[in-house]
Amino acid sequence: MHVAIPLYPRFTALDAVGPYTVLAFAPGWTVTFVAADPGPVGDDRGTLTLTATASYADLPAPDVIVVPGGPGTLDALSDEALVGWIRQAHERTRWTTSVCSGSLLLGAAGLLSGARATSHWAILDLLRTYGAEPVTERVVTEGRIVTAAGVSAGIDMALTLLARATDPETAQSVQLAIEYDPQPPFSCGSPKTAPEGMAERALSLIT
């Protein structure tokens, strides 16, 4: 199974690296970072780069796409090289997935019309722009499209995908291998549980 993760300026690192870590551990799975041109691409903090080792043209028909999100997503919506690649590659994928605001790029590619989908809570309603039905779930599966909520939800999405594409035991073995056993120190990972005023403070960190 060949997975392609497209990179674009100001993507959020964990959106890409979380699913990469899960899927790269899976036996028989290969993960490739792609971009318009091979080379380094900077994340949204400006301090970390990942290297795309292939171009979109080099990998036109991956088995799986994982589209990360990040502050750079809004600019990327007008990047026809990226959006066009998603649209065309989706015709032959087994699974097309996104993390966080990456679902907006699936929408821009015309893949979410009439579909349930999720994204980061801060931009969830923007999915309506593309005819999607926004839902506040951590992972949403609609046929062969799987969307994840914000950032860390990409790990959950990748494990969900792996279980569906192979079997639950494979996904469980990867989960154990990476010791993914969330025990957050605060019950503050959702607007539903966050203290009053915390959403505004959180938004100031990501805008």
Q: Active-site residues: which are they?
A: 100
Question: How buried is 155 (Cβ within 10 angstroms: 0-12 exposed, 13-18 middle, 19+ buried)?
Answer: buried
Q: Tokens 């801060």 belong to which residue?
A: 122
Please check whether residue 66 is in contact with residue 103, taking contact to mean a CB–CB distance below 8 angstroms: no
Distance of CA 54 to the CA centre of its chain: 19
Please check whether residue 149 is in contact with residue 137, taking contact to mean a CB–CB distance below 8 angstroms: yes
Please check whether residue 157 is in contact with residue 119, taking contact to mean a CB–CB distance below 8 angstroms: no
Please check whether residue 101 is in contact with residue 129, taking contact to mean a CB–CB distance below 8 angstroms: no
What CA–CA distance (Å, rounded) separates 111 from 137?
19
- Comparing CA positions, the residue from 135, 114, 117 lying closest to residue 67 is 117
- Comparing CA positions, the residue from 160, 156, 158, 176 lying closest to residue 168 is 160
Please check whether residue 57 is in contact with residue 107, taking contact to mean a CB–CB distance below 8 angstroms: no
